[in-house]
Homo-oligomer: A and B are copies of this chain.
Amino acid sequence: MDSAPEVVAVGHAIVDVLAPSEDSLVASFGLEKGTMTLVDEDQAEKIYASLGPATEASGGSAANTAACLASLGASVVFVGKVGDDGLGRVFIHDIRAAGVRFEVEPARGGPGTGRCLVMVTPDAEKTMCTNLGVGALLSPDDVDVDAIGAATVVYIEGYLCGKPETDPAVERAVSVARDRGTLVAFSGSDPSWVDLKRSALDALLDRVDILFANDAEACGLAGVDNVEAALTTLSRRCPTVAVTLGSRGSVVATGSQVVSVPAASVSRVVDTTGAGDSFAAGFLYGVVRDLGPEASARLGALAAAEIVSHLGARPLTRLSDLIGGERLGGS
């Protein structure tokens, strides 16, 4: 049961509240479409009251990646903090049912399980307001150092970085990984988060082996205004840099080598929530199975195509069934 996992994912344990919404509603809160804003419990209640009918589904960036990795067939541990409440039980059920090992004890008392109000506009774009709840209190003691030491990759959500409450947990995960030869993968998480926490994220970059970012996050991290320049800058610091470009696919730099991979076809894009998380999962699956950057990016594209085809950020079909010959076709 406790055999070495291939990947340990560390992030916020969150339940998403997905509400199809008009652009005008997003604008009425003064929010910019496609971004994530942190809100406290009172603000979350106020926004929730204005949302239309919603669907609840487990989320959290790195947790989504963990669920997709398990669905692809990788062995995964997730590290994150839930409360001892209804949403916490939903989160635990879903992450374990996805085949992910999850052993962090729920916190008793204090804030409840985090939730993310996700407004999904008709263009399939998502605008998120997150109340992190007890998820923001992930401590170094919660970090499973044995699992990280034994894993091939530890994947850390950028949202954890740059906050006094969770920085010690990030530091512990990264140091253990560096000491034990475990690859460190890291996500930019969100363009506005990158803007807000740039110095903290920057301080971590030289210890990151695999960096995931979308175009805006890559430019923000590199302090430049175009993806090519960002790739050049970032790949001087991280051995692998994977930048997602939405419907234009992705581009991956490994040292001086750069490969572009198109997005996989989707009959209808319904909800882009979790697109980046699932791309990271497909890519990391390729990494742990040693398939090379191009095949890994193709797996990322396939995983993302499944996720954006329906409401919610976790797979509704077994991703391992979708990848078929893709593993054999790896470079």
Contacts and interface: CB of A to CB of B under 8 A. Distances in A.
Contacts of A67: 53
A312 B55 contact: yes
Interface residues of A, number: 27
Nearest to A16: B55
B93 A48 contact: yes
Interface in A85-102: 85-87, 90, 93-94, 97-98
A268 to B, nearest CB: 9
A133 interface: no
A242 to B, nearest CB: 25
A53 B71 CA distance: 11
Given A86-B87, A316-B20, A97 B57 contact: no
A56 interface: yes
Given A48-B93, A311-B316, A55 B56 contact: yes
- With a 10 A CB-CB cut-off, give which of A54, A56, A93, A311 has the most chain B CB atoms: A56
Contacts of A97: 19, 51-54
Contact of A98 (B48, B53, B58): B53
A55 B55 contact: yes
Contact of A54 (B48, B53, B94): B94
30 contacts: A20-B316, A20-B317, A48-B93, A49-B93, A51-B93, A51-B97, A52-B97, A53-B58, A53-B93, A53-B94, A53-B97, A53-B98, A54-B57, A54-B90, A54-B93, A54-B94, A54-B97, A55-B55, A55-B56, A55-B57, A55-B312, A56-B56, A56-B57, A56-B90, A85-B86, A86-B86, A310-B310, A310-B311, A311-B311, A311-B316
Contacts of A198: none
Contacts of A316: 20, 311
A68 to B, nearest CB: 11
Contacts of A49: 93
Contacts of A86: 85-87
- With a 10 A CB-CB cut-off, give which of A53, A87, A90, A93 has the most chain B CB atoms: A53
A55 B94 CA distance: 9
A308 to B, nearest CB: 15
B56 A314 contact: no
Interface string A120-145: 00000000000000000000000000
